Structure 1
Amino acid sequence: MRTQKTVWDNPADLIRHLQPDHPVMAFAPTVLQDRARQFLAGFPGLVTYAVKSNPDETVIQNLVTAGIQGFDVASPYEIDLIGRLAPGTARHYHNPVRSRREIAHGVREGILAWSVDSGSELDKLFEQVPVSVEGQGVEISPRFKLPVPGAAYDFGSKFGATPDLAADLLRRVADRGHVASLTFHPGTQCTDPMAWESYIRVAREICYMAGVRAHRLNVGGGFPSHRLAGVAPDLPSIFTKIGDTVAECFGTDAPALVCEPGRGLCADAYALIARVKGLRDGANVFLNDGVYGNLAELPVIGNLDRIEVLTPQGRPRSGERTGRVIFGPTCDSVDRLPGELALPDDIAEDDYVIFHGAGAYSVVTNTRFNGFGAMTRATVMGFE
């Protein structure tokens, strides 16, 4: 194999030269930076990146280069990672449930923004979190939830207070002297701008019930990536709906806005290159990656169908597409993608299946179960 190049033109170029036998995550820094600048130019507030979606150091460094100055961190590890890679940027510790040891770590690191969704967890914050750090007020944001459709799955089953409880928490935060703000998350891969509108209107009601002006309103993540073939998600419409609804509901008393996209920033900057291990009797496709590797979330959130199939020479397969069952490489029958995926009928063993938009919640889920999943990473100029 010729391996002189370190940056490939595109996945086809990589395949032609390397013909990799293990899964490869192809990363396009220009795509990531372009998406970050789209958020910075379009979202009417502070853009923070949800580190959990892809904590790769090159991702963090490219986001900082593009102008991202805030990060949503969910653990002491992520706090320290951003402290090392992006010192001086904002770190929002927005995992609503933490141990007292985790809280103490955040306090030692000077965290200035916290979230909470219960009275018991707020009591734990009050025990340790100061009202200010070096003259800067410390923010605590009650997180609330609503039964609003429009997302691939709803985070409200685990996190979020009812609006009544959120109002009580907001009042307690303000009475204690902390910076009182609000936060919500409309659910992952949310394509409907109306979901944000519904949450923002209820945020105004929570402030009214609490008798407290929220300093900031964090409208969460949920911003969609381009998972399905066809028209890409309309991020500008979501940004516009958020800005217009806040102006309508709050007027001149509007809180500052924050968002915390993860998937919406990083997913489309990656493509997963998997190889066909076999075609069982010409029907079922077995890949060298699956749900124990970089495709772990597909059974929960649904398939990525922005797929192309290339020969080992990097040429696209052009046969008529038909639905096929796809299995991963392990001996566990759970290792199967949901439903069927449309693949060209001339697909063959040793071909490559490229899943575009695979950069979120993938590189962190590889378990190496059964000894499979020896993923490598590569840099490409783009995906065309």
Structure 2
Amino acid sequence: MPMGLTEGRGPKTVWSNPAEIIRRLTPENPVMVFAPSVLRAAAQRFLQGFPGLVTYAVKSNPDEAVIRTLSAAGVKGFDVASPYEIDLIGRLAPDAARHYHNPVRSQAEIAHAVEAGIKSWSVDSRSELDKLFVRVPAENCEISPRFKLPVLGAAYDFGSKFGASPELAAELLRAVADRGYIPSLTFHPGTQCTDPHAWESYITTAAEICAMAGVKARRLNVGGGFPSHRVTGVEPDLTAIFQLIRRVTDEAFGTDAPQLVCEPGRGLCADAFALITRVKAVRDGQNVFLNDGVYGGLFELPIVGNLDRLQVLTPEGTPREDEPMPRIIFGPTCDSVDRLPGELTLPANIQEGDYVIFHGAGAYSTVTNTRFNGFGLMAHLTVNALE
């Protein structure tokens, strides 16, 4: 491995941009580059635009540099889904709120969270609520029933695994209030919701749930789903999403409007990273083989769809410019599943040894990277800018 590259967090050097890394180091293995300035800007976009508390979904990228950067930027809450994430935030951001919104937990996980001082929980079933009633003290403790609706405008549906029907959510909300806990509600509209109206029916239904239960919700967590910039020329309009959430909440709840909470993961961290991959081969002038794929930093592309914000650079760090040509792209493993969906457009004169940079690769990439088939070695470097 060339000087300056290590698996895990790299040297303290801050590079200008990915092109400089390619020009100076010619890395043979994938490199994930992080631009803290981009993450800080994303945090400010949410903190200044969202009409409520912003909490970061740690699962999307739990890198310590990400957590520290967000905390320093003013993010005061984190959505945690496991004892590991509870302890991670307790160590890195001890004054921040931790919302334990994975609605299914073992007895041991509940005990760990209680010991850690967790005060905000979600739930989507009677059996899980009964477990909380037994182990979680009611004083100053919030429990948020999580409900689901048919998916609309999302890349994939979280409701197939989590979420109660509105009717059951009303029963759970009533039970929470009756037992002396702080009653709130939560939902998740799905991932990569580019249409603001994905939130509209959920917020309206939340008001109906409160009416059915005869309970005023303290807070309404409108989930994640906030999109990142995945497609060239189609930048998400987060302002429109924020404005719709505020307007629909006021219209649906009137004077009983709950405090709002959101839990973006992808929408905060994805665009602060770019993945540098190298071309292993251009087989017979057609299919492109990269040194990373779906068992590595590109794991989620077959699920969510391709990232098409690409740069192709020569080993000298200069853009490879030629007529665009659709290509099938394979990863490095000896497994036919290791293929990106459909085709991606790359310069016709792309060559072995060139570099393909996937911009917006910061979410669900480093955490899902495996060492399957002996591949997956990935360096992590910091840059001032991504282009």
Under a length normalisation based on structure 2, what TM-score does the superposition of the two structures give? 0.97
- CA deviations over 1:115-142 (Å, ceiling 9, x no partner): 000001001111100001xxxx100000
Task: Name the structure 1 match of 2:255.
Answer: 252
The match for 2:82 is 75
Q: How does 1:321-340 map to 2 (within 5 A)?
A: 321-340=324-343
Matched with 1:309 is 312
1:312 Cα deviation from its structure 2 partner: 0.3
Choose which of 49, 56, 61 in structure 2 pairs with 1:42.
Answer: 49
**Distance in 2 separating the partners of 1:19 and 1:332:** 26
Q: Does 1:144 align with 2:147?
A: yes
Asked if structure 1 preserves the Cα contact closer than 8 Å seen for 2:60 and 2:266, the reply is yes
Q: CA deviation at 1:5?
A: 7.9
| Residues in 1 aligned to 2:103 and 2:260: alpha-carbon distance in whole angstroms | 19
Secondary structure, counterpart of 1:92 in structure 2: strand
Correspondence for 1:267: 270
Kindly indicate whether the alpha-carbon contact (under 8 Å) linking 1:54 and 1:364 is maintained by their aligned counterparts in 2: yes
| CA deviations over 1:267-292 (Å, ceiling 9, x no partner) | 00000000000011010100000001
Q: Which residue among 354, 357, 366 is the counterpart of 1:354?
A: 357
Separation in 1, partners of 2:224, 2:86: 18
More displaced, 44-53 or 248-257? 248-257
Distance 1:344 1:312 in 2: 15
TM-superposed CA distance for 1:231, in Å, is 2.5
Query: Equivalent residue for 1:10?
Result: 17
Task: For 1:197, give the aligned amino acid.
Answer: E
Give the distance between the partners of 1:17 and 1:299, measured in 2 at CA: 32
Cα 1:15/1:164, change in 2 over 3 Å: same
| Runs of 4+ that moved beyond 3 A | 1-5
Q: What do residues 51-81 of structure 1 show as CA deviations (whole Å, max 9, x unaligned)?
A: 0000000000000111000000000000000
CA distance in 2: counterparts of 1:333 and 1:304, whole angstroms: 20
Please give the alpha-carbon distance, in whole angstroms, between the structure 2 residues aligned to 1:331 and 1:9: 35
Residue 297 of structure 1 corresponds to which residue in structure 2? 300
**Cα drift, residue 104 of structure 1:** 0.4
Residue equivalent to 1:224: 227
Trace 1:1-384 onto structure 2 (pairs within 5 A): 3=4, 6-132=13-139, 137-384=140-387
Change (3 A) 1:14 1:155: same
SS of 1:185's equivalent?
Answer: coil
Partners of 1:231 and 1:94 in 2: CA distance:
31
**Kept after mapping to 1: 8 A contact 2:151/2:159:** no
Instruction: State the distance in 2 between where 1:2 and 1:125 align.
Output: 52
Shift of 1:197: 1.1
Identity among equivalent pairs (%): 73
Aligned residues: 380
Cα shift readout 1:238-265 (whole Å, capped 9, x = no counterpart): 0000001111111221100000000000
Say whether the 8 Å CA contact 2:23–2:316 is kept in structure 1. yes
Q: Helix, strand or coil for the counterpart of 1:199?
A: helix
Structure 1 gaps of 5+ residues are none
Determine helix, strand or coil for the equivalent of 1:115: strand
Q: Is 1:148–1:198's contact at 8 Å kept on the other side of the alignment?
A: no
Q: 1:321 & 1:213 partners in 2: Cα distance?
A: 56
Partner SS, residue 326 of structure 2: strand
